[in-house]
Structure 1
Amino acid sequence: MGAVLGDVLGFAAAVAVSPLPIIAVILILATPRGRLNGVLFTVGWILGLAALGAVMLAIASPAGASAHKHPATWVGALKLALGVFLVSFGARQWRRRPRDPSQAQLPKWMGATDRLTPVKVFALGLALAALNAKNAPLTIAAGAAIGSAGLPVGQQIASLAIFVVIATLGLLAPLAVFLLGGERAKTTLGNWKEWAAQHSVAVMAILFFVLGLKLLGDGISILTS
């Protein structure tokens, strides 16, 4: 189990520092129902990651993700495809990054966070975790790494749980600051939001490029061994 965690933690850390959901939860916490909606958003995020990871494990188990504790050929092909996607996406993001970070613009839907109902906030957290093009490939890659390690079911579930916890730290940090930080919380969260908004594209571009290269290497290694 220790070996697979070494692979999974990198993907979890990349999901955790994804700027978009961090900015979203900070904006949600600033709304009149910030306490409730912030918790609902985080719960939706956790369930989205867990559901996508569980689906990947469910697919991997009957499909023979490993043979004699060696990843199956289809796992290598999947990692190779994910690697190509992440490298391409990272390079595209880097080319599109604003030359002046202060000119970076947030998605238009973020301007409506104060009008979202609790149900919509929960659904937003779910969607950003499970359906977002930036986070879903990383969760799928983590699920493939766990499923191909030849672990017993209990250890697979434990590994997925660790992935979800680490991947949620980026949301838990602003939530904790909001709940425990008192009057200074608004200033702290505002500074975090500004930094994330200005540097989100560059940060994700670098992360995707590095993790994409790792997946390419893993996929080639599996397919050629």
Structure 2
Amino acid sequence: MKTRDLVDRLASGVSPVEHNAVARLLNRALMTGLGGSAVLLAALYGVRSDMPELILTAMFWVRLAFPLAIIATAMKLAERLGRPGAPLKLAWCAAALPIAAMLLAAGSIVLATPPGYRLQLMLGMTWRTTTANIVLLSLPSLAAMLHAMKQLAPTRLALAGTGAGLLAGAQGLLVYSLYCPEMAVPFWGVWYVLAIVITTAIGAAIAPRFLRW
């Protein structure tokens, strides 16, 4: 077979890619992961009885804003990681910005608090279980995001897993925020951020094998 004939065969039957196909694929994975995490939360922990009162407080919405900001920026990062050669620098900076802002806010509050109360602000009541709970709730999202990434064309596999893990960690945190009783920003800055870092690391560790072409 001549080279020209081979090229013609490979090019035959090719249809245009849908507009925003990558974004749509990742959004579907996001919704699938969100559903899985919500079901897992309800099965393991139930629903808070004081939810009607909780949603009327400002801190409840401030807490939700943190994972939502990460999800918004990490989605753009994941889209770029699914495309070979896409620029990443600005996307990484945008994804890191909500975490940096949280750490800055938490640190400022700790410094402004009398020394005798700082540790209590950071530990809260549930420090022993919060990080593990968030990581557990992130696993359905991580599986869905890695499955979506596998359908794209990532060439930087560990980085693609890092982006998927960051997005999954934020989504797990979003779901857990509906249940968590902690309202202190320093607590969020320690244990919430730690959970996202762990989930991101898990994604980076397993992606090279899972996403291998």
Normalised to the residue count of structure 2, the TM-score between the two structures is: 0.32
Normalised to the residue count of structure 1, the TM-score between the two structures is: 0.30
